[in-house]
Amino acid sequence: MKIALIGYGKMGKAIEEIATAQGDEVVLKISSSGKNLFSIKNIQQAEIAIEFTKPESAVENIKMCLDANVPVVCGTTGWLKQFDEIKDYCNQKKGTFLYASNFSVGVNLFFALNKYLASLMSEHAEYNVSIEEVHHTQKKDAPSGTAITLAEQILEKIKIKTSWVNNETDKQSELGIISKRTGEVPGIHTIKYNSPTDVIEITHSALNRKGFASGALLAAKFIVDKKGIFTMQDVLGL
Ligand SMILES: NC(=O)c1ccc[n+]([C@@H]2O[C@H](COP(=O)([O-])OP(=O)(O)OC[C@H]3O[C@@H](n4cnc5c(N)ncnc54)[C@H](OP(=O)(O)O)[C@@H]3O)[C@@H](O)[C@H]2O)c1
């Protein structure tokens, strides 16, 4: 595949390393200082664009790739209030788009486990559920996109919870997400069910960024010759 990397930071570089090793070619690299290269003509040199930048630039970048009629895989988190706008734009352009809050295959299995556990726990009101996420200090958004996905899955199954909040909470109707920022942690997510007598906990810990990068490339291969809007569930057949 010929790849345009929109965002050439920690994730862009991790993707380049794996892509090059598996015989793909990076034909365009865009960082905030090289934005003059980010043109429709240049994007069209690629068969697929992979966008990992920052919340404020993701929407504009995705639209530009859709304008160029190049399929886009996006991993930037923190812009989801505009997800419907992007869906409409993609449909209008008859384009191809895939967003995942987390590209790691392990996390997507963890999502499936989270849904299953939440459906079991929905019958047991004595357990109170909460989420904790830990990331490196340069992470711009909180809670993490992955924690939001986990929270939304839980809200779908546990009806006593009607919304999530990004702090500890005693309110029964709220699902608390605690965000911690420390050191170089690539990402730890824990779902905790506390009862007066015991605790059930499931945790996913990313050991490095390679899992995200190889998952993004897997997603890119999956959508490169397709039209429409996809998720990692489609890629992994979950
Ligand atoms: N979905 C997942 O699996 C997953 C996994 C890890 C991270 N993420 C998310 O991915 C995003 C990027 O993470 P990262 O760790 O790679 O961040 P990073 O190291 O800060 O890299 C961000 C890159 O985007 C560039 N950039 C900033 N503004 C831009 C713009 N307007 N147009 C083009 N490029 C621009 C930066 O350029 P300069 O260096 O020149 O400023 C830099 O190259 C974050 O939102 C993070 O939460 C998602």
The predicted pLDDT at position 34 comes to: 85
CATH homologous superfamily for the domain 2-103+210-236: NAD(P)-binding Rossmann-like Domain (3.40.50.720)
Active site residues per annotation: 135, 139
Compute, in angstroms, the gap from residue 42 CA to the centroid of ligand 1. 20
| Token representation of residue 138 | 């340069």
Residue owning the nearest CA to atom 41 of ligand 1: 32
Map tokens 């967003």 to a residue: 99
pTM: 0.89
Count of other CB atoms within 10 angstroms of residue 175:
22
- Which helix or strand (DSSP H or E) is residue 5 part of? strand 2-6
pLDDT tens, position by position, for the chain (238 residues)? 999 999 999 999 999 999 999 999 999 999 998 888 999 999 999 999 999 999 999 999 999 999 999 999 999 999 999 999 999 999 999 999 999 989 999 999 999 999 999 999 999 999 999 999 999 999 989 999 999 999 999 999 999 999 999 999 999 999 999 999 999 999 999 999 999 999 999 999 999 999 999 999 999 999 999 999 999 999 999 8
CA of 123 to the centre of ligand 1 (A): 40
Longest dimension (CA), the chain: 62
- Phi, psi dihedrals of residue 80, rounded to the nearest 5°: -70, -15
Domain positions in the chain are 2-103+210-236, 105-205
pLDDT of residue 35: 84
Two tokens, residue 182 = 């420390």
Give the tens place of pLDDT for each residue, 110-146: 999 999 999 999 999 999 999 999 999 999 899 999 9
Range list of β-strands (E), 13-109:
25-30, 48-51, 72-74, 96-99
Work out which ligand 1 atom sits closest to the CA atom of 33.
40
- The rounded distance, in Å, linking the Cα atoms of 54 and 142 is 13
The domain 105-205: what is its CATH number? 3.30.360.10
**In the structure, which protein residues have their CB atom closer than 6 angstroms to any atom of ligand 1?**
6-12, 30-33, 35, 52-54, 57, 61, 75-78, 100-103, 139, 212
